[in-house]
Amino acid sequence: MFKFFLIFNFLILITTTHGSEENGKNFIRQLSKWNIDFLKLDNFKAGAGCMIPNSQEYNALGLSYNLADIEYAKKIALQGCEQMKKKNKILTECKCEIIYVNNNLVIKE
């Protein structure tokens, strides 16, 4: 029984990680449409996004870079995402979340 539980948890972890990686690739791809190469921006950066359920693309994005503090970078990225949500009139369908911190993909549990 313990082996089954361990294997089940491992499969969930793999599925979650794969989904997060796809979301990270989508984030990078969407920014590249605006000629922004997030991975080449200076450090102390963060990227945030908001995706409506069952969507393949982010409906709102926010980013920040070259800031003095990583926590401040995350705050600015989230604010940018929220502003884009308002501009696009996306009210409750999605929640802005941090996707990247520096060049590290943030994986939600």
- Confidence (pLDDT) at 54: 81
Residue 52 parent element (H or E): none
Element (H, E) at 102: none
Beta strands in 1-109 (DSSP E): 46-50, 60-64, 97-101, 104-105
Provide the pLDDT for residue 109.
Answer: 43
Would you state the torsion angle of the CA atoms of residues 1, 19, 74, 82, taken in this order, to the nearest 10 degrees? -120
**Mean pLDDT of the 39-46 span:** 90
Phi and psi for 95 in degrees, rounded to 5? -120, 130
User: Which carries the bigger pLDDT value, residue 52 or residue 100?
Assistant: 100
Average pLDDT of the chain is 79
Question: Quick one: average pLDDT of 2-12?
Answer: 34
Please state the rounded mean pLDDT for residues 76-105: 90
pLDDT (mean) for 35-43: 90
Q: Is the dihedral of CA 76, 27, 35, 33 positive or negative?
A: negative
pLDDT at 60: 92
Structural domains in the chain (count)? 1
- Whole domain around residue 87: which residue ranges? 2-105
For the entire predicted model, the pTM comes to 0.76
